Amino acid sequence: MRETQEQQKKRVLKIIRTLRKTYPDVKCALDHKNPLELLVATILSAQCTDKRVNMVTPALFKKYPNAKAYARAKPQEIEGLIRSTGFYQNKARNIRLMAQALVKKFSGEVPARMEDLVQLPGVGRKTANVVLGNVFGVPGMPVDTHMIRINNLLGLTRRHDAVKIETELCRLVPRKDWTDYSHLIIHHGRARCIARRPDCARCEIRLLCPSKK
């Protein structure tokens, strides 16, 4: 028998409680000290591990401390610093264009509204949600590959489109928990529910997962 939305909401609360006990110190895995640093780091994280991004960003942040610096930078200079993150030419271009838009439209400051953030080159809803939730305290539901895969396994969605999944999850997860929920699920995907070798036998939320093996 298929769960009702209310039953799903109750199960989600149990999942959140369990994962918070399992990962009490979980937080954004991208190192940053301000909104611009997180915005740049999130752009770099596309199809790249957070660990690799964190290896690259110290030198990048030191060389380009503000939006004006990125906006004036030569593409080749940025590319040289971010090459190991992959797709470095596209990422360098997006970072420069994003910074130029910040300077032109927002006086060099990262805006704190979804509708403004997604206007920036290279910034989609996932990136915007990461920034909103982690530096501005605005609840956001970033949906990455871990979120897509694990929420399908949990039976909380049957979709694979990130925006549609975000909409569905926002109906099931209390708004105040949106940012934490994403952190918890993503961390669980790295620590336990690994795509190639999920450790279902030791999974802390096994009894809450209809896909358990």
Q: Which residues are catalytic?
A: 126, 144
Q: Could you give the C-alpha distances from 155 to 23, 82, 88, 90, 159, in angstroms and in order?
A: 22, 37, 36, 35, 10
End-to-end CA gap in the chain: 19
Let me know: does 132 contact 117? Beta carbons within 8 Å.
yes
Let me know: does 154 contact 210? Beta carbons within 8 Å.
yes
Burial code of 153-188, b = ≥16 C-beta within 10 A, e = fewer?
Answer: bbebbeeeebeebbebbeebbeeebbbbbbbbbbbb
Residue found by looking up tokens 């080159």 in the block: 121
Measured CA to CA, the distance from residue 117 to residue 128 in angstroms comes to 6
